Structure 1
Amino acid sequence: MLKNPLYQYGSPDLQLPVNLNFSEFILNKLVEFKEKTIVNGLTNETITYGEIAQQSINLAVSLSKLGVGKGQTVAICSENRSEFWSAVIGSISTGAVFTTINMMYTKHEITHVADISKPKYIICSPLAYKMHEKAFRSLNYVQKIIVFGDDKPPNTVSFNELVARSVRFQEFQVADVDGTKDTLFVLYSSGTTGLPKGVMLTHLNVLISSCSKGIETPSPVKYLIVTPWFHTMGLMGTLLYLSCGRDIVYLPKFEMELYLKCIEKYKITRLQVVPPMLVALVKYPGQHDLSSVEMIYSGAAPVRKDTLEAVGKKFPNAKSVLQGYGMTETTLAATRDNDECSQPKLGGVGKVVSGAVVKALSDSFHFKVVDPKTRKPLGPDQPGEICVKGGIVMKGYVGKDRREDFDEEGFFRTGDIGYYDQDGYFFIVDRLKELIKYKGYQVPPAEIEAVLLQHPGVRDAGVVGVPHAGAGEVPRAFVAVQPGASVTAEELQKFVAERLSNPKHLRGGVSFVPEIPKNPSGKILRRQLKAMSNQSKL
């Protein structure tokens, strides 16, 4: 058999533990790096990896006595806080499936995702309990609600009491699993085009993501994380850093001044951001010592050239902004720049990550780009739908036939439009379902947004297609204006028309809004923008 020359293959250079059990793997890593710390940058509360490991095994034993085990699901709903990781690792050590619930969800959204995974146990922070008690209580399959902190609300279980027992690490054994088949996490797709779907990730999926090569240089590093841990980027990214033994500082939420003060106070060397956060950071006028930052990791969307140029001024010792491309369905990153990439390609998202070569499993992780209509593979510099296959690709969606989302070769159809160049470097153009169809032309909203963001009066922008009797769809922009700026719709329409071809002009008009709706990873929620438009035919 020969490799297909039109496919892009990841490196097979990857070491995995013999026992494909992520719970066992991460507990061993926590013990190996037991002196490393996770610090709350808001309160300075510190917990060591060793303390997380001890709390995890204590919790696992307590949960098993409550009846938690294989075939059951445990959920967490909490802001970033010190107990989060022992809750995750303790729960999965019982063999249970673990799922996360977005703190910002409404009752309707909580019911929707909970109905997918049907957790019998929910672990939550006091704040989450206060916000969502009625929603949690309305779920008839939930048997117990476990609450962090010293207070114990009526009819709940105290997390502190569950971790109070003392179990020796040498005497503890995680539950047996089939790492290639058993679901470890049920997470939820971003919901940019509809209600979230339940993504099933196996122990093997997460092991491969956590063992990938080229993630870090050998030098000591300290991360600042503000991405919510209930979201894939925060959850999987932090598990990766835990497995590498990195010191971590986290914040419960993003506040500009506090974020910059944390960099200065803790001498942070690595930042994990999404592009809107990076744009806000480089535009912020405050004076802080940010010289400790050596590297910035960005995901969810491409970073613009002017932002990259501004990074050098704001962070004088930052070597580069490394970008990547991934989704919940690929566990974390599917392509990325590595730390040796001092000059990433503008607008690109790196090369295919390492895959797993495990006998009797699928072949290495690899990509193909296909024509959306004919499904034929395309060569370099030819945009098409990106399809992925390999060890980090999800098991499937809960309750959905795999054949709806995977092709006959077993490739997952991402719905993203992109291409790779002669060097195998990937570039993302747009979402297939988000392309605006104007008189037969396919118009990428992201391209118009990038132009709008070049206007000095525009703070943020989102573009969607709106119905048009003669053209099918035309682009409409939603714009958040810079504080103190005065911008008109006509001015922005002219600005775009001078820079983009005719099909990309803003014939649908411009609407001014306080904020562009986005999910926690920074992706624009275009379905909300569509709902905000009047949907009238022009």
Structure 2
Amino acid sequence: MLRNPNYVYGPRNVVVPANINFGDYILEQMWTHRQKIAMINGATDERVTYSDIIQQSMNFAVSLNRIGVRKGDTIGLLSENRQEFWGAVIGVACSGAVLTTISTGYVKGEIIHVTNISKPKYIICSPLMYKNHSKTLKSLNFVKDIILFGAEKQNGVTMYNDLVFESNGFVKNVEYEQFHSVEVQGQTDTLFIMYSSGTTGLPKGVMTTHLNVITACCLPASHDPNSITVTITPWYHVMGLVGTLTAFITGRTGVYLPKFEVDLYLKTIEKYRAVQLTVVPPVLVAVTKKETHYDLSSVRMIYSGAAPLHKDTIKAVHEKFPNLQGIYQGYGSTELTLAVLRFSVRDPNVHKLGSVGTVSPNTVIKVVDIETRNPLGSNQTGEICAKGGLLMKGYVGKSKGTDLDDEGFYKTGDIGYYDDDGYFFVVDRLKELIKYKGYQVPPAELEAVLLQHEGIKDAAVIGIEDKSAGEVPLAFVVAQPGVTEDDVKKFVAERLSNPKHLRGGVRFVAQIPKSPSGKILRKDLRKLLKTAKSKL
């Protein structure tokens, strides 16, 4: 009955409509901005208005109903960032179906794995993804049809344009005043199935409800809605998917790129005089390492998420962007429908260096001792646990089991602490801590130091077994020509304490494997170490 003094409670000042279809909710919000530009393709300057997205969404929902889609059916979406994406997402929501977004980085086995979790009846696909994966998609016996983006017709598929444009004859333009989404139970009906990043194992299907996403959209804006934002986050990932939907609520104009290329990215910032950037940490690392001549003076705010951003990287970013006022970090996961820790653009304490912000409204966070599971007070490091309106419905075909504790808190597996003002700091992943002679060595700390080396472009650290010490750190490094293993070891030894020295050695690689959200795939590095030592 009483609040726990060691829990950190978010404010309760956000009112959320609980039982409506998310499709109706977002169409209503977007309707007030219908004359504005919603999205600009930074590579082609192709533009789409909010009115365009609304019309596509309503027409697509009606067409899905006509071809037999019913409430609760699952529809897959396999596409890079492109204009049709959002009409498809919102149209599926309006139809009462469940949308599952599939990573464009997946190979055949991964596509088979995740689709066998969600079993979509239809898959919406971009031309590029269809070219790469048509045989795999057609081999799935639960898929009735493939709906293809683009103007070039293909045999054996249904064209998305035929389902959304009146000129193609299948559907007449739906009037907004006459449209109503399929009724759902917002608190319990699934809206999205997204897949956990799989950094420590095979991806799991995370079920997110209509209410979860509406709750995320009702949070105070983290960006200025009146300023141009450039984003390259893939839209199939929770950061891109839910993050963009929250932007639509405010009527913000976003410039996007289908993929990340450093020069094109910086050229786009200069061309559109972007004020805000939404990134994952590897993008900032790449930008700070790049010698450029672009005018980046328009950038005032950078919002970074999906992985921790080290203080040294933050300092380097400030040097790259001369008029940068602040870097906002957030913290969340697929299981937490975006961000449960965040900054607001109006927060006067945005410059708390390295912090991921304070607790979101309608959320409770606790930090617990790794061994005893007892809640800790301020400035004590432990595992971050969260619950509230953003917590997922659950995993497809799997109980929440050990992922939740006996109080219903989601155990994030991330190590962090909060200060006396309630600002949180993430230290590392619990499962990735290297245990050297009883010391807990955070790989992220070593990686941050390695990136300070002028000759190192990127780096990742794992622990390898050692009979006497338990585990020792080993570094994978993407380096400039001339950098040696001894150089790297000495650089770390001069800057970090004895347990953090690279006793496991250094391996030089062409690139560091990462998830689409920018998290280092340490399991892939371990596989590489076992199977290809001679090539490293």
TM-score by length of 1: 0.95
Number of the residue aligned with 1:362: none
1:41-440 to structure 2, matched below 5 A, reads: 41-164=42-165, 165=171, 166-217=173-224, 220-341=226-347, 343-355=350-362, 365-440=363-438
291-300 vs 116-125, which moves further:
291-300
Q: Distance in 2 between matches of 1:282 and 1:498?
A: 23
Identical residues among aligned pairs (%): 57
Q: State whether structure 2 residue 513 is matched by structure 1 residue 517.
A: yes
Q: Deviation at 1:502?
A: 2.0
Equivalent positions of 1:388-537 (< 5 A) are 388-482=386-480, 485-534=481-530
Cα distance per residue 1:252-287 (max 9 Å; x no partner): 011122212211222211100111111222332222
Give the distance between the partners of 1:309 and 1:493, measured in 2 at CA.
Answer: 24
Q: CA deviation at 1:536?
A: 12
Contact residue 273 and residue 299 of structure 2 kept, 8 A: yes
Contact 1:467–1:535, Cα closer than 8 Å, also in 2: no
Alpha-carbon contact 1:449-1:461 (below 8 Å) kept: yes
Question: Cα deviation per residue 1:434-466 (whole Å; 9 max; x = unaligned)?
Answer: 111222222111111111111111111101111
Contact 1:188–1:328, Cα closer than 8 Å, also in 2: yes
* Aligned position for 2:9: 9
Q: Secondary structure at the match of 2:88?
A: helix
How far off its partner does 1:499 sit? 2.0
Q: Is the 8 A contact 1:22 1:206 kept in 2?
A: yes
SS at match of 1:153: coil
What is the identity, as a one-letter code, of the residue corresponding to 2:342? R
The amino acid of 1:443's aligned partner reads: V
Please give the alpha-carbon distance, in whole angstroms, between the structure 1 residues aligned to 2:333 and 2:307: 11
How many corresponding residue pairs? 525
Distance 1:415 1:18, change over 3 A: closer
* Cα deviation code 1:26-81 (max 9, x no counterpart): 11122111012211111111110111100110010000111112121011001111
- How far apart are the structure 1 equivalents of 2:251 and 2:331? 24
Partners of 1:378 and 1:50 lie apart in 2 by 49
How far, CA to CA, are the matches of 1:457 and 1:287 in structure 2? 21
What is the distance in 1 between the residues matched to 2:263 and 2:36?
A: 26
Partners of 2:493 and 2:306 in 1: how far apart?
A: 27
Equivalent-residue separation in structure 2 for 1:258 and 1:204 (angstroms): 37
Kindly indicate whether the alpha-carbon contact (under 8 Å) linking 1:20 and 1:207 is maintained by their aligned counterparts in 2. Answer: no
* Aligned counterparts of 1:411 and 1:180: Cα–Cα separation in 2: 18
Deviation (angstroms), 1:106: 0.5
Distance across 2 between alignment mates of 1:29 and 1:211: 11
Instruction: Name the CA distance, whole Å, in 2 between partners of 1:319 and 1:214.
Output: 17
CA distance in 2 between partners of 1:326 and 1:90 (Å): 26
CA 1:18/1:198 → structure 2, altered by over 3 Å: closer, same or farther? closer
Structure 2 residues without counterparts, runs of 5 or longer = 166-170
Q: Is the 8 A contact 2:194 2:207 kept in 1?
A: yes
Which stretch has the larger CA shift, 177-186 or 488-497?
A: 488-497
Query: Structure 2: how far apart are the matches of 1:414 and 1:141?
Result: 33
Moved over 4 A (4+): none
